[in-house]
Amino acid sequence: MKLRHFYNQVVKFGKDRDPRKNKASITSYADTAVLYGDLDTEVKKIMVGIDIEVAELLLADRIRQRQGLDLVVAHHPEGRAFARLHDVMRLQIDLLKEAGISGVVAEKLLEERMIEVERRILPQNHTRPVDAARLLDLPFMCMHTPADNHVYRFIEKLMHDKKPRKVQDVVDILSEVPEYKQASKINAGPSIIIGNPNRPVGKIMIEMTGGTEGSKDVFEKLYKTGVRTIISMHLSEEHFKKVKDANLNAIIAGHISSDTLGLNLLLDRLEKEESFQIINSSGFYRIKRN
């Protein structure tokens, strides 16, 4: 498969799993890009990792020397894709509206948070890994929101099908997913960080896509819409305190394990067209479902 086609399929599959109802306006994802490399590169062997930075690229170059390698794929964005991370956060507006928050309020909260994220990223030296890939002449790309969309849809369906009643039920259901089961072996599995395990789970809000954490001021409003439980990859300390103040249950599914799940689901779809040799790295491990 050519690198160009690989990237186009990632965007296509990401769009297919996008939680927004209006998909017609989605042309690409700012946090997903070919960061370096000839788009006509034939891709057969890929090193995949959650975070690919200079050290991982040097490792990839060593692997290429010893056994060949065509492409390095990161989950988390780097370079220009990281610089525009805040752009994909607009996706969260639709999720908040679907949860019952008015469009005006959802847009205001997200606009403020997007500006905050943009301001945080602006001073960072985000081109370092891309510069390393260029110096090594090593094809390098990242696929972030398309993979996260797959996690969102997967957990949404899982909760719909299993219908958990108590907070602990959610953890038990997640813990049966291979990626989360594997994470539990290294003490990084799903866990309740706020709430009693026997408390009713109520209406669930899934926070798995949309770039990064949304507004910290949204949780009280979510409670008023009937949401009682948040399932998230991670919560910053500031967001944690707001969730606790809103009297919501909070379940952390796991950050790296959720990212791994999203990548695996996306790779499963890519490999229906053409199989690849995958080298696991940087927290990622391949689990096939087909």
Q: What is the pLDDT of residues 266-285, one digit of tens each?
A: 999 999 999 999 999 999 99
Mean of the per-residue pLDDT values for the chain? 96
Beta-carbon count within 10 A of 203 CB = 13
Q: Please name each of the domains of the chain with its CATH number.
A: 3-144+258-278 (no CATH), 150-254 (3.40.1390.30)
Q: What is the pLDDT of residues 95-153, one digit of tens each?
A: 999 999 999 999 999 999 999 999 999 999 999 999 999 999 999 999 999 999 999 99
Q: What whole-number distance in Å separates Cα of residue 107 and Cα of residue 113? A: 10
**Residue 71, phi then psi, degrees to nearest 5:** -155, 145
Answer whether residue 249 shows pLDDT above 80. Answer: yes
CB 52 within 8 A of CB 78: yes
Q: What whole-number distance in Å separates Cα of residue 204 and Cα of residue 156? A: 9
Answer whether residue 290 shows pLDDT above 80. Answer: no
pLDDT value, residue 22: 85
Q: Label the pairing between strands 277-281 and 249-252.
A: unpaired
CB 237 within 8 A of CB 183: no
Q: What whole-number distance in Å separates Cα of residue 137 and Cα of residue 121? A: 26
pLDDT value, residue 47: 98
Average pLDDT over residues 60-88: 97
Q: Is 23 exposed, middle or buried (0-12, 13-18, 19+ CB in 10 A)?
A: exposed
Q: Please compute, for residue 65, the number of CA atoms within 13 A of its CA located in the half-sphere on the CB side.
A: 8
Beta-carbon count within 10 A of 235 CB = 21
CB 76 within 8 A of CB 50: yes
Q: What is the pLDDT of residues 27-54, one digit of tens each?
A: 899 999 999 999 999 999 999 999 999 9
Choose among 16, 12, 46, 47: nearest CA to 32. 12
Q: What is the pLDDT of residues 180-210, one digit of tens each?
A: 999 999 999 999 999 999 999 999 999 999 9
pTM: 0.95
Average pLDDT over residues 78-94: 95
Between residues 19 and 24, the one the model is more confident about: 19
pLDDT value, residue 24: 84
pLDDT value, residue 67: 97
pLDDT tier, 23 (very low <50, low <70, confident <90, very high otherwise) = confident
Query: In 3-state terms, what secondary structure has residue 269?
Result: helix
Q: What whole-number distance in Å separates Cα of residue 17 and Cα of residue 153? A: 6
Answer whether residue 59 shows pLDDT above 80. Answer: yes
Answer whether residue 85 shows pLDDT above 80. Answer: yes
Between CA 185 and CA 191, with CA 188 as vertex, the angle to 5 degrees is 110
Answer whether residue 25 shows pLDDT above 90. Answer: no
